[in-house]
Amino acid sequence: MKAIWFSLDISLDQLNEHGQHTMGSHLGMEFTEIGPDYLRAMMPVDARTVQPYRLLHGGASAALAETVGSMASGLIIDPEKQICVGLEINANHIRGVREGYVHAVAKPLHIGSSTHVWDIRITDDEERLVCVSRLTVAILPKR
């Protein structure tokens, strides 16, 4: 399969460095795999990411989905000419998680010239589905 990325010269270390001092780094997110047509990241289920019942917070799941999908769009565009910004996100929370990590995989549903639509599946450490999200990203000319 041919890779969808603008440049194949990107590493996980570079992605994780790019995310320093952001919400993603505050919540402990880490990019873990770049596939030919997907991007994978993980996030701990800990005091930063749970709600008062000690279950993974739905907002943390949405933040993980938007982070991995937005970064994936950023890897598709020409960064000298374009920027990408989130336009719409939804998330269906399927299963609660109390500990360990959650793992998000973003795969494209649509890669157009002005929008990208991503399907993001979040699973727990046992690969059970936790959340399903769809993210729409607007592609804008760089000023």
What gap in Å lies between CA 97 and CA 121, rounded to an integer?
14
- The first and second tokens of residue 15, run together, are 């992605």
Task: Give the distance, in angstroms, between the CA of residue 59 and the centroid of all CA atoms in the same chain.
Answer: 13
Alpha helices in 38-103 (DSSP H): 58-76
Catalytic residue among 17, 30, 33, 66: 66
Q: Report CA dihedral (3, 6, 12, 17) to the nearest 10 degrees.
A: -170
Per the annotation, the verdict on 33 as an active-site residue is no
Instruction: Please identify every residue annotated as catalytic.
Output: 66
